[in-house]
Structure 1
Amino acid sequence: MDRVEDLIQSLALQEHPEGGWYREVYRSDESIPLIGLPERFDGERAFCTSIYFLLSGEDFSAFHRIKQDELWHFHDGDRLTVHVIDRAGNYCEKKLGRNSEQGETFQQVVEAGDWFAASVPSGGYALVGCTVAPGFDFADFEMPSRDALQALYPQHSNIIKRLTR
């Protein structure tokens, strides 16, 4: 996968804890004070942050959630599927890509508090961007164990087994 290696090098990507590769490309200089944020936050946050995110081959982004909405933007490669389990326990797939006739779009949103993971077709790759507002902070990131997520959503056991570590 020469293209994947080229992207990792040229974009200076590093391994992400949830899987895949990333690099923060934007963090606003201004911040929202804690007093201006919903109670779920424990400190001030940048107005907005943005990253490049790359998945390839059999790698996946493991189920996790954050306290903010996250916008996903398709840039290059093959279809990327964002797997979402919402707060009510409903599962859906959001497809990013350039093939609208196959239900793919260039942009999708994952709502704050929803569990989500991502995958690409076997042997494929996808370069996307992720924008978070208020800005991302690892204090807002939660990645559960497979057992913990299956206890919450046993009806989605197959996808949870496939996309957790």
Structure 2
Amino acid sequence: MSALNTGKASVGHLEDNSVIRKRTEDEEQLEVKQMIEKLQLKPHIEGGYYRRTFQSSLKFNTSWSSTDADKSSLDLANNDSVVSNACQRHICSSIYYLLTKQSPICCWHKNRSDIIRYFHGGGSMKVFTIDDIGLLQTFRLGGNVEAGDRLQIVSKGGNWEALMLVDGDWALQGEAVAPGFDHRDWELGTRELLHKFPDLADTIQLFLKE
């Protein structure tokens, strides 16, 4: 008799777990949706979601050539991050950046400015960087320090970068960019990277936008 009762309890327990698991998944999706709404995030062209939170009022003249600075693949006419002087930049800018299970990848991109990434919450992101000579490095940004996560990661300007959610349902970071972000200093990776770094083709292919 006790064995039969144990069997029924076991089946009931499995059914309850199934309901709980489904409810938890729904709650996780709702949590991400609410976070996007509360933080007023919008889709990023590289993947994930973002919102600019700060842009310094102070500006300075960089040593970057105006020819290079004028390069852009985007329409800059209505972009408030662009200052009038081709070599002038805001001293610093900052954004929220979020990766989720539904949008877990940030595609290859390059910025002339240095970027400091700060872990804010959620799971962990893996950051991939490639320098000019083809050195590939990977870092984990997250709160699990014992597992090798870092709370801050500095990305050197001029390196190619890609990011991937590797743990959890979402990961939120802050990015401080210095000099401040300007689309003229930004480039989205294309298949040309495969020709430039053929030894890294497998990794590069994972994070191409096209």
TM-score range, shorter chain: over 0.9
State how far apart, in whole Å, the 1-side matches of 2:107 and 2:118 are: 18
Q: Which residue of 2 aligns with 1:23?
A: 51
Instruction: Give 2:188's aligned amino acid.
Output: M
- Give the number of the structure with larger relative contact order, counting CA–CA contacts within 8 Å between residues 6 or more apart: 1
Q: Does the 8 Å CA contact 2:124/2:167 hold for their aligned counterparts?
A: no
Q: Which has the larger radius of gyration?
A: 2
Q: 1:38 is matched with which residue? A: 63
* Match of residue 207 from structure 2: 163
Once structures 1 and 2 are overlaid, which stretch shifts more, 115-124 or 42-51?
115-124
Q: Does the 8 Å CA contact 2:46/2:106 hold for their aligned counterparts?
A: yes
The TM-score, its normalising length taken from structure 1, stands at 0.92
How far apart in 2 are the matches of 1:97 and 1:123? Answer: 10
Partner of 2:13: none
**Aligned runs of 1:67-146 on 2, under 5 Å?**
67-121=112-166, 124-145=169-190
Residues 122, 101 of structure 1: alpha-carbon distance in 2 compared, 3 angstrom cutoff? closer
| Shift of residue 39, structure 1, vs aligned partner | 2.1
Unaligned residue ranges in structure 2 (runs of 5+): 1-28, 70-85
Q: Does 1:154 align with 2:198?
A: yes
Q: Is the 8 A contact 2:123 2:168 kept in 1?
A: no
Q: Give, in whole Å, the separation in 2 of the partners of 1:25 and 1:53.
A: 10
Q: Distance in 2 between matches of 1:32 and 1:80?
A: 33
Instruction: State the identity as a percent.
Output: 32
For 1:120, what is the secondary structure of its paired residue? strand
CA distance in 2, matches of 1:158, 1:58: 22
Tell whether 2:79 aligns with 1:51. no
Kept in 1: contact 2:123–2:167 (CA 8 A): no
Q: Which amino acid aligns with 1:160?
A: I
Query: Which string of whole-angstrom CA distances, capped at 9 and with x for unpartnered residues, describes residues 33-75 of structure 1?
Result: 3xxx122544211110000000011531100000011110000
Report the TM-score, using the length of structure 2 for normalisation: 0.73
Name the aligned partner's letter for residue 81 of structure 1. K
Distance 1:73 1:123, change over 3 A: closer
The count of residues paired between Structure 1 and Structure 2 equals 161
> Which of 2, 14, 18 is matched with 2:42 structurally?
14
The amino acid that maps onto 1:44 is Q
Q: How far apart, CA to CA, are the structure 2 residues paired with 1:43 and 1:30?
A: 14
